[in-house]
Amino acid sequence: MKRTFADLHLCPNVKDSEKVSRIVSKASKLGYRLMAITLPSNITQEETQRLRNICKEAKIDLASRVDLKPETPRELIQNLRRLRRKFEIVAVMCESKNVARQAAKDRRVDLLNFPSLDFRRRFFDNAEAELASNSLASLEIDMKPLLTLEGPARIRLLSSLRREASIAQEFHVPIVISSGVSYELLMRKPRELAALASLFDLDEALALEAVSKNPMSIVKRNREKLGPKFVAPGIRIIRRGKDC
């Protein structure tokens, strides 16, 4: 069965249509069929539709994404209450342990992202993974640092990623591999991103799922939830009418 590849973390300046068009065109040529662009939380429907039209021309399916960067668990909860139903993907940039713990246990969070290159500020440990395994959150690993870092900094990051990937597998937390890039020169084919995952000991089958099945599942699940027929998990409206 042919895989459908997705990149859930592209970060161009959405105000720059030309730059967005270049990234979308490159994604299509590289073999992606779905991509998520990080959008401002206050983006208008008109602006979102403009981006969808750009993607449609390149035969790319666009998923809307917001990156939350709360400083406290309370701020995270407030943001989720305000934004969850406005975006197809909600990612949390976990820059403190308290925020990471709250994000891991909240079923409204799709992706846990740990952007710090300092291993002391990467909080994906056993406790974090156990919380995530009981919710719907996946561990997102951006590949941009592996492409840009050199020397000891790259070695330290790989050490952290090996540990995090191992913990995720132990607790059955899905892994999503994204690019995390903001311009097209750093974009890579999906199978190349999967191959890079071997650097932190992710086997081929799991790496390919991380650029196809896992991200696609998140988008499919959330689009169903945001649809008019969704009532609650496991409950859908089948038919409307006076005799129902």
pLDDT at 215: 98
Sheet containing 5-10: order of strands: 5-10, 32-38, 61-68, 89-93, 111-113, 138-142, 175-178
Nearest residue to 181 (alpha-carbon basis) of 27, 40, 5: 27
pLDDT at 181: 96
pLDDT at 146 over 70: yes
Query: In the numeric block, which tokens belong to residue 183?
Result: 């311009």
- CB atoms inside a 10 Å sphere around CB 17: 13
Angle at which helices 45-57 and 17-30 cross, to 10°: 40
Q: Averaged over 151-177, what is the pLDDT?
A: 97
Percent of the chain exceeding pLDDT 90 equals 89
Q: What is the mean pLDDT of the chain?
A: 93
Q: Averaged over 217-228, what is the pLDDT?
A: 89
Would you identify the CATH topology of the domain 5-236? TIM Barrel (3.20.20)
Q: Averaged over 90-119, what is the pLDDT?
A: 96
Q: Where are the domains of the chain?
A: 5-236
Contact by Cβ (8 Å): 212, 4: yes
3-state SS, residue 111: strand
Place of tokens 């994404």: 65
pLDDT at 233: 53
pLDDT at 119: 86
Contact by Cβ (8 Å): 23, 188: no
State pLDDT tens for residues 37-49.
999 999 999 999 9
Q: How far apart are CA 81 and CA 166, in angstroms?
A: 32
Strands (E), 24-121: 32-38, 61-68, 89-93, 111-113
Q: Where are the alpha helices (DSSP H) in 85-238?
A: 97-105, 126-133, 144-148, 151-170, 190-196, 204-210, 213-226
Q: Which helix (H) or strand (E) holds 88?
A: none
Place of tokens 């449609």: 56
**Close Cβ partners of 223 (under 8 Å, ≥ 6 residues apart):** 88
**Close Cβ partners of 214 (under 8 Å, ≥ 6 residues apart):** 138, 174, 175, 176
